[in-house]
Every structure is written in C-alpha cells, then in structure tokens.
Structure 1
C-alpha cells in the first residue's frame, strides 16, 4: 500500500483514489450474488427441485443435458459519506499532511470502491458555514463531482450546530453512513448527529482520524499549543507532560470507542500516518454485512 504522503504527492485525487482502492477490488466484489435475477452470469447443471422455468431448453437440445441459467441479483446500496470540516481537521502531522488531507484521500478511495460495487454514493461536507451536500447517485458523472467537492473542501470554525445539521436527518433514507472525523466536539454534537442518522438511515461506520504526533506525543521540550477552533494557547514542557498526556489520551480513546459502540456505531481508529487499507477493509466488511 502507498503511504498517505505518496498518494497526496500525486496531486491528483482521482488517480490517488484509484491507486489506493484497486488492490482491494480483486476478490472483494460483493455487490452482486448469483440467483434468479435479470443479468445473465453463467450456467450450472440442473438439480432436483430447481425451478424448471430457468432451464435453458436450447442448450438441452444441443447437449442432451439440462442446465440452468444463473444470473446476478443486484444488491447495491446507498453510501453516504460525511466529512468533518471543522478547523481541528487542519492539524498537521509529522509527515506534512493534515487530517483533512488524509480524510480527502480516504473518502475519495471509499467513493471509488463503492462506485465499483455499483452503489449510489453521496457526500456531505460538514462546516459551520453550512452543508455542502451531493445527493447519492450511481451514474458515471458522480465520481468527478465527489472528487471536486473533496478537493475544494476547507476546514474552518467549529462543528456545525444542530440547526445547520437538521436537513441531514429530515428524511428517512436507508444508507450506510461513513463519517470521517477527529471527534473534537464541545457537547457531544457529533455523537448526537450520528445517533440521529443511525435512527433514520441505518448503519453508521465512524472512522476516527488521529494524527501520529497526537497519538505518540512526539513533541520535545518547551512548546506552545494553539487550539485551532478557539485560538486559545497553552505553553508547556512536552517531555514533562508526555506520560500524563498519553495516559489521558488512552482513557479518552477507550471512552470514545465504548460510547460509539454503545450507540450502535462501527468504530475504527485511524492513524493518519498509516496507509488507507485498514479503513477500506472496515468499509468493505461493513458494506458486505449490510
């Protein structure tokens, strides 16, 4: 798997998505199953109890054997991608990528995967200025629309308030919702949104983006931290605070994962310095179970 920085270095989201996703497509195509559908797939020998209407009588006349026409039943679904575009997603890792950069690459790869499965894919960029929403579609022009929306997304401000988010849960539409967020919130607003989406749409896959320098606290010596959303600053000695920080971080991560799973979400922690394969594997696992 290519690293996130190499994919980002391509400077072409369409190419990066295809490069990241193609390794998962071989043997992972699960959007169709054999059955009595409309699109022909293959023949198989007749077995007692099979529906005689599916016998291919012309083949039987030529071969003196009985075969059934197998077909493919389309089991595609709707995939709704959510991008947290609040300012904390501008946090930059040691590899030079921001969480937003990583989220763009990941969601583009998931959109490519879902499209290859025949799914209708939509995207909503969540920002305080309002929602940028592309309704789910399965046509050939949807991927370029999604790529453009991801490429032009910028992160700013706080996570949107409930009034801004209300249109997302106004209508019931069965879908697999995939949310990429760093889960920095003030009063549980991200959890509240996903809980409502699970109630009206069904399955939710929560991909928690965390930078490597956050997870390892790789900073050294005296340093000033600035909150990207409130602009508040704090000065500390990183070497003195590392042990306490890591202990609190692990407690927060455990609590976050437990809370998400209690709400019925599939939760997966992402290290933004690592390749995208873990998140894509989770997506395919969840998609195939839907």
Structure 2
C-alpha cells in the first residue's frame, strides 16, 4: 500500500532504483505508445481543434490564389506543378501552448489486482494520448522542463524518448520549476500523494505568469476502498519508514477519512488557482479520463 508521506526531492540522489526504473520504462514504452495511439484515435471525433490560418512560421496548407491578393503571396514552386496559382498558408502562432508533467516517482508504480494497469503506465498513456490529440487539433505541446512546445506529427515518439532519457524525473514527485506563459495550459498527471502545502506552492509558481491548469489524479481502486483485513504493514515506496498498523480492518475507516480529507484539500488548492481537478481510477478505461480532460482544456481555450 502507498503511504502519503514523501521525501523532499532535493535530498534524493540517482542510484540503482533510478537506473532500474529507467530500464523498465524503456522496455515498456513501445507498448504504452501503441496504447496511447489507440486512446488518441478514440478522442479524434470529440475534439475540435483551433488550427487556423494566420501569421506564423509553421506551414499549414496550400490554397488557391484569390484574385486581388498580392502576387508576393504566390508559392511559385507549388504553382508550377499545374495550371493554378497557390498561396502557402501558415498556422496561427498565438502564444498558447499545452504543457504536460507526468509523475514517474516510486508511488506511481503501485498496481493492485483490481487495477487495469499501474498508475505510472496509465499516466503515461493518458499524457501521450492527450498530447497526440491536441497536436492533431492544432495545438503545440511540450513537457515541462524537458522539451519545447511543438506541433509535430511525431509528438508521441518525441515525448516518449524525452521521458525515457529523463532519469532525474524518477525522483520527482512534483513538476520542475517552470514559468509557463500567460494563457498556456498546464496538465499535471500524478497520484498527488504529496503533502498539500508542497502541491500548493508548486501550483502557485506555475500560475504566477497567468497560465491555467488541470490536475489529473490517478488512483488505484485499492487506494479508494482499502479492502484489507487482518494484520498488515504499510510500506512507503518513496523510501520512507514502514508502518505496522495492526488490524487493517479497524484502521481502514480512518484511512478512508484521511484520504478524503487529502483530496478535499487538493480541490481547494486547485480552485484557489483557477485549476481543475479530475480523479481517474485505474480500473476504468483510459479513454474515459482522456475525454474528460480534453473537454476541460478545450472549454478553457474558448
């Protein structure tokens, strides 16, 4: 079982566990990429992108030349292929990006017999699927502290490669320090089993320049119900102490009360910054959570 106590990230040092974690991630990433593509395809009909012509650097499409336009807008190389004149249009380069952070710390590796996947695998599938869907809708996507935002057709592979190479990220239970621009969207995917005051400080920092955000809380069904009986010992996967709780059945009610209070506090923190909070259980389909979060991001973007 996962304990809510977490070590300060600054006291950790990469070691054998981090190396093993990176190797395991590299081995499973191809399968997760395929699953993310499948989930992304399910979102395609529900998303309406904001891609449109305008001033910018990224090529969007060719369109027929319209009488009255300036001749300098004609793309003569494309026009030479047939009997029509064509104009090269570029995407609208508004200052709007969508930034992702996907928690890969030790607590995210938990998976019970009731779950469809471990929390980290589900978080990665959700993050990659949403990134693919947003890029397909005309948005630019990046990883906080790892990559620049881009509207690349290969965004899933690009993000997967960056995550596999980010060994330091295995020791981070909150996003790296970053300053997203005003009107940018930030998506944090984690179990958020971190002291609320640290989460509040992180969100305040990310929101300082006017960005908006969304918390996607990943939970194993066992973490919701605590269906244990008899003698039990809880182990903190982040490296903290173990706790002998004695009779798990008697302790369960107190646990459920505390986890509910923790989530209520997270909702307050998110609301104070104008962020949203969505809970996703790993025994539910990934597409369900992806559609919910995509809808929230689109609604925010207007």
Q: 1:181 to 1:140 in 2, by over 3 A?
A: same
Q: Counterparts of 1:202 and 1:234 in 2: how far apart (Å)?
A: 40
2:221 is matched with 212
1:278 is matched with 288
2:106 is matched with 87
Compare the two structures and name the one with the higher strand fraction.
1
Gaps in structure 2 of 5+ consecutive residues? 1-26, 55-59, 70-88
Q: Counterparts of 1:141 and 1:20 in 2: how far apart (Å)?
A: 16
Q: How far did residue 11 of structure 1 move?
A: 5.3
Q: CA RMSD in A?
A: 3.5
Q: 1:201 to 1:109 in 2, by over 3 A?
A: farther
TM-score in terms of structure 2 length? 0.69
Q: 1:97 to 1:123 in 2, by over 3 A?
A: same
TM-score in terms of structure 1 length? 0.71
1:245 aligns with 2:232: no
Query: Secondary structure at 1:119's aligned position in 2?
Result: coil
Query: Secondary structure at 2:42's aligned position in 1?
Result: helix
Q: How far did residue 73 of structure 1 move?
A: 8.0
Can you list the C-alpha shifts for 1:66-95, whole angstroms capped at 9, x where unaligned? xxxxx9985874110012233222222323
Gaps in structure 1 of 5+ consecutive residues? 1-7, 42-52, 55-70, 125-130
Given that residues 108 and 150 in structure 1 are in contact (C-alpha distance below 8 angstroms), is that contact kept between their aligned partners in structure 2?
A: no
More relative contact order, 1 or 2 (CA 8 Å, 6+ apart): 2
Aligned pairs (5 A) from 1:132-171: 133-151=146-164, 156-157=170-171, 159=173, 165-166=176-177, 168-169=178-179
1:58 is matched with none
Q: How far did residue 29 of structure 1 move?
A: 2.3
Q: Counterparts of 2:243 and 2:130 in 1: how far apart (Å)?
A: 37
